[in-house]
Amino acid sequence: MSASETDPAAASASPEQVRLDVRRWLAESWDANLSLVEWRRRLVAAGWAVPSWDRRWHGRGLPAWADEIVAAELRAVGAVGLPMGVGPALAAPTILTHGPDSVRERFLRPILTGEETWCQLFSEPGAGSDLAGLSTRAELDGDHWVVNGQKVWNTSAHYADFGLLLARTNWDVPKHRGLTYFVLPMHQQGVEARPLRQMNLHASFNEVFMTDAEIPIGNVIDDVGSGWSVALTTLAFERRFGAMARPRFAASAGRAIDEARTEADHYFETYKWYPQRAGRADLLVDHARSAGLDDDPNVRQELARTLSLQRVGEWTAERARAARALGRAPGAEGSIGKLALSNVARAAARTHSLIGGASGLLSGPQAPFGGMVAEVLVSVPAQSIAGGTDEIQRNIIGEKVLGLPRDR
């Protein structure tokens, strides 16, 4: 059975049955006084952490829609669910899809329990959109690989335990065929992560230098030389990994919840500017009111345009969620959704500027919205770059949806 096949008996389960089963299990098993790891281990052992995964890999072999139902039931009783970040969002589906089993056995469970955290080591100073042109090299030396090279823009690499590393292992074949996808242990002498300060003054990503860094021979995802197709899987999941909502926790109600809150605080420290990166369209109407411009026809026109774009973007995201619930592999809807988010972010930044004028450039506590507008203006450009630029998304849509000739 492949990692993603569903179990025939489980596949015929109805949503009502799944809801009842998980409710019954939660009534017996949710205990806020456990440690966070103890609780998540219990959740994972019962298969309710990722019910759509195969039973062999910590799931229950249920259809894809079961994940949302179970997450909603967990929220309803105030129980803690999966951790956030690159581990569950990118590493887990990539490892699940491509294996091998030894890598699935070693890494999937601690991703789901949050015991190990991950970062993505793809981009290089000379390889971003043209990722396949990367030059970090890995060479086999006895029972381990030796890696030398530099990565850049690596979110959370300064604390992650493992990195999803794309490196060149063969220089004698066309560039896409000479890549291998590794799991790099980050806490070792040969790996140095140096934080980069951004123009919005946050420092959420890093440059990572690898100097004779070592990787155990078995830490290869899929096969040596097949790294490009594995990377495409990660990138497809990354386009889905846009909006992140901070989970709501009950006021101090037990150890597992307190630890989950601390975990979320730590995680969102890195991502706290991401709402500004998305343009803060939610603040536009308040901004117009507080500036006394909510009856200005030009402002109203732009508000309507931006908020309509936002609503359409939400419907696109809804469509992507529905495709996911049906168990479809990520497709071009990820690129369309990502472009929609960029358009909303830019339109929102323009509208904030129209409303605030020069005051939008002020930072500090006395500025409008505590300097939030200024932070929006210097954060929005990242929306069109992270996870593949707008131009690259347009190329994907041109080729996959419109059937245009391939980009050269």
Ligand X SMILES: Cc1cc2nc3c(=O)[nH]c(=O)nc-3n(C[C@H](O)[C@H](O)[C@H](O)COP(=O)(O)OP(=O)(O)OC[C@H]3O[C@@H](n4cnc5c(N)ncnc54)[C@H](O)[C@@H]3O)c2cc1C
Q: Residue 248: is it exposed, middle or buried by C-beta count within 10 angstroms (0-12/13-18/19+)?
A: exposed
Q: Do the Cβ atoms of 339 and 391 come closer than 8 Å?
A: no
Q: Return the exposure string of 255-266: e unless at least 16 CB atoms fall within 10 Å of the residue's CB, then b.
A: bbbebbbebbee
Residue number with CB closer to ligand X (87 or 388):
388
CB of 388 to ligand X, least distance (A): 5
Beta carbon of residue 195, minimum distance to ligand X (angstroms, whole number): 13
- Residue 327 or 381: which CB sits closer to ligand X? 381
CB 256 within 8 A of CB 34: yes
Q: Which is nearer to ligand X, 363 or 395 (CB)?
A: 395
- Binding residues for ligand X, per CB under 6 A? 120-123, 128-129, 153-155, 205, 382, 385-386, 388-389, 391-392, 395, 407
Of the pair 297, 405, the CB lying nearest ligand X is at 405
Give whichever of 52 and 200 is closer to ligand X, judged by the CB atom.
200
Residue whose CB is less far from ligand X, 193 or 288: 193
The residue type found at 75 is: R
- Least distance to ligand X, CB of residue 382, Å: 4
**From the CB of 197, what's the least distance to ligand X, in Å?**
13
Whether the CA torsion 156, 157, 158, 159 is positive or negative: it is positive
DSSP 40: H
Q: How far is the CB of 232 from ligand X (least distance, A)?
A: 14
Tell me the pairing of strands 179-185 and 118-121: unpaired
Helices (H) and strands (E) in the chain, counts: 15, 8
Nearer to ligand X, 52 or 342 (CB): 342
How many CB atoms lie under 10 A from the CB of residue 404? 12
Min separation Cβ 24 and ligand X, Å: 40
CB of 389 to ligand X, least distance (A): 3
Position of tokens 């926790």? 249
Q: Please state the closest distance from residue 111 (CB atom) to ligand X, in A.
A: 16
Taking the least distance from each CB to ligand X, the nearer of 22 and 193 is 193
**313 vs 179, 240, 334, 368, 381, CA distance in Å?**
35, 13, 11, 27, 18
Which residue is closest to ligand X by CB? 128
Q: How far is the CB of 390 from ligand X (least distance, A)?
A: 6
**How many whole angstroms separate alpha carbon 82 and alpha carbon 219?**
24
Are 330 and 239 in contact by the 8 Å Cβ rule? The answer is: yes
Residue 229 or 395: which CB sits closer to ligand X? 395
3-state secondary structure of 195: strand
3-state SS class at 153: strand
Choose among 32, 60, 28: nearest CA to 44: 60
Q: How many residues does the chain have?
A: 408
14 CB-near residues (< 8 Å, 6+ apart): none
